């Protein structure tokens, strides 16, 4: 029996448990922690004091605490930072080495529903149509889909193609640790930053950028033609540099774009190119709304 979910080997799970878990997260992370019911997912990050993303994650509230679905390459750094901030708080922080992440690649209009073989099921709120995700162990998953990964996983390229077409950046592919501000990866429009909550690490910088409207870079979808020989990091020109490709799975890609430079070039009728090949940069609805709001001020 084939699984409708993709196994994500580049994701890992960090467990936080204990009576002070929510209090600790409230003063550290970008996402709200109040009125958080078990089973509910929140997107957020831990930032540096300078406001850059150490690690972003999907946080699942459980009856025992919180589980963080995070980039495998950055989970140890996140755990280390959280432990430094823990001080005398009663919070246990542990990587769950035997737990892996699976993800659906289709809209989930029915909301959270049970997934055979998964111990926890949650919604990825970064997609307009929602995406189901699950946490499982090899034993629990194999009971339904068998031990051979080809039988119980959709190809990973299908997962990346789906997230790129929806403009969802991912740490490890589109950014590293302490490289970007939350707005650079659209966290503010994807529900990952709560500026009206209590203090969190880096809040002053993030809040100041929003108050001043000083958001220059955005992660935007870009088409990748079949005949374009390129790689992540390739410059996007129009004709001066306006950004760089961060990841792609043809025909979809994601690029970090200097929006002001791109819009000026676009208004002048100058095409964006990668290695002299024209590419199309998308204007998501949230960006159009953001630009319209600026025009009104």
**98: domain CATH number?**
3.30.70.1400
The answer to whether residue 127 sits within a structural domain is yes
**Do residue 154 and residue 189 come from a single domain?**
no
| Nearest C-alpha neighbor of 7 from the set 146, 208, 194, 212 | 146
**Do residue 127 and residue 207 come from a single domain?**
no
Q: Name the token pair of 6.
A: 């993709």
**Do residue 109 and residue 209 come from a single domain?**
no
Say how far apart CA 228 and CA 250 lie, in whole Å.
Answer: 10
Question: Phi, psi (5° rounding) for residue 124?
Answer: -85, 110
Which residue, 131, 165, 199, sits at the end of a domain?
A: 165
Q: What is the mean pLDDT of the chain?
A: 92
Which residue, 139, 165, 191, sits at the end of a domain?
A: 165
**Do residue 262 and residue 217 come from a single domain?**
yes
266-296: pLDDT as tens digits: 999 999 999 999 999 999 999 999 888 877 6
23-61: pLDDT as tens digits: 999 999 999 998 999 999 999 999 999 999 999 999 999
The answer to whether residue 172 sits within a structural domain is no
Q: Name the token pair of 151.
A: 């039988």
Residue range 200-205: mean pLDDT, rounded: 95
pLDDT at 297: 61
Give the CATH number, domain containing residue 202: 2.40.30
* pTM value surpassing 0.85: yes
**Do residue 157 and residue 186 come from a single domain?**
no
The answer to whether residue 177 sits within a structural domain is no
Say how far apart CA 45 and CA 32 lie, in whole Å.
Answer: 11
Domain count of the chain?
Answer: 2
Q: Are the C-beta atoms of residues 35 and 47 closer than 8 Å to each other?
A: no
Specify the 3-state DSSP secondary structure of 261. helix
114-166: pLDDT as tens digits: 887 888 999 999 999 999 999 998 777 766 665 554 456 788 999 999 999 99
pLDDT at 138: 79
Specify the 3-state DSSP secondary structure of 3. coil
214-249: pLDDT as tens digits: 789 999 999 999 999 999 999 999 999 999 999 999
**Do residue 21 and residue 129 come from a single domain?**
yes
The answer to whether residue 176 sits within a structural domain is no
The answer to whether residue 170 sits within a structural domain is no
**Do residue 38 and residue 138 come from a single domain?**
yes
The answer to whether residue 33 sits within a structural domain is yes
pLDDT at 166: 96
**Do residue 186 and residue 284 come from a single domain?**
yes
Which residue, 130, 165, 200, sits at the end of a domain?
A: 165
The answer to whether residue 173 sits within a structural domain is no
pLDDT at 139: 79
**Do residue 138 and residue 213 come from a single domain?**
no
**Do residue 203 and residue 160 come from a single domain?**
no
Q: How many CB atoms lie within 10 A of CB 277?
A: 14
**Do residue 128 and residue 218 come from a single domain?**
no
Q: What share of the chain is helix, strand, coil (3-state, %, to 5)?
A: 25, 30, 45
Residue 180: partners with Cβ closer than 8 Å, 6 or more residues away? 52, 53, 217, 256
Domain interval for residue 65 = 5-165
Strands (E), 22-64: 41-47, 53-61
Residue 144: in which H helix or E strand, if any?
helix 138-145
The answer to whether residue 62 sits within a structural domain is yes
**Do residue 100 and residue 239 come from a single domain?**
no
Say how far apart CA 248 and CA 59 lie, in whole Å.
Answer: 26
């Amino acid at each position: 029996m084939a699984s409708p979910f993709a196994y994500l080997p580049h994701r890992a799970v960090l467990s936080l448990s204990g009576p002070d878990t929510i209090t600790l997260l409230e003063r550290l992370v970008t996402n709200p922690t109040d009125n958080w019911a078990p089973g509910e997912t929140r997107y957020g990050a831990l930032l540096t004091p300078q406001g850059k993303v150490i690690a972003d994650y999907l946080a699942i509230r459980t009856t025992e605490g919180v589980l963080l679905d995070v980039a495998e390459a950055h989970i140890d750094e996140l755990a280390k930072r959280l432990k430094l901030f823990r001080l005398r708080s009663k919070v246990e922080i542990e990587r769950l080495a035997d737990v892996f992440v699976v993800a659906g690649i289709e809209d989930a209009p029915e909301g959270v529903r049970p997934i055979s073989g998964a111990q926890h099921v949650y919604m990825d709120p970064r997609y307009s149509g929602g995406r189901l995700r699950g946490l499982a162990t090899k034993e629990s998953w194999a009971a339904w889909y068998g031990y051979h990964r080809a039988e119980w996983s959709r190809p990973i390229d299908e997962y990346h193609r789906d997230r790129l077409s929806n403009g969802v950046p991912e740490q490890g592919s589109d950014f590293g640790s302490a490289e970007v501000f939350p707005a650079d990866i659209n966290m503010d429009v994807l529900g990952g930053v709560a500026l009206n909550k209590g203090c969190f690490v880096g809040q002053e910088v993030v809040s100041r950028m929003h108050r001043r409207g000083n958001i220059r870079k955005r992660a935007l979808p870009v088409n990748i033609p079949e005949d374009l020989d390129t790689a992540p990091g390739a410059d996007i020109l129009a004709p001066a540099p306006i950004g760089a490709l961060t990841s792609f799975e043809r025909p979809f890609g994601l690029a970090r774009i200097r929006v002001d430079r791109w819009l000026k070039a676009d208004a002048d009728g100058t095409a964006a190119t990668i290695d002299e090949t024209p590419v199309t940069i998308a204007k998501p609805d949230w960006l159009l709304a953001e630009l319209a709001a600026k025009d009104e001020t």
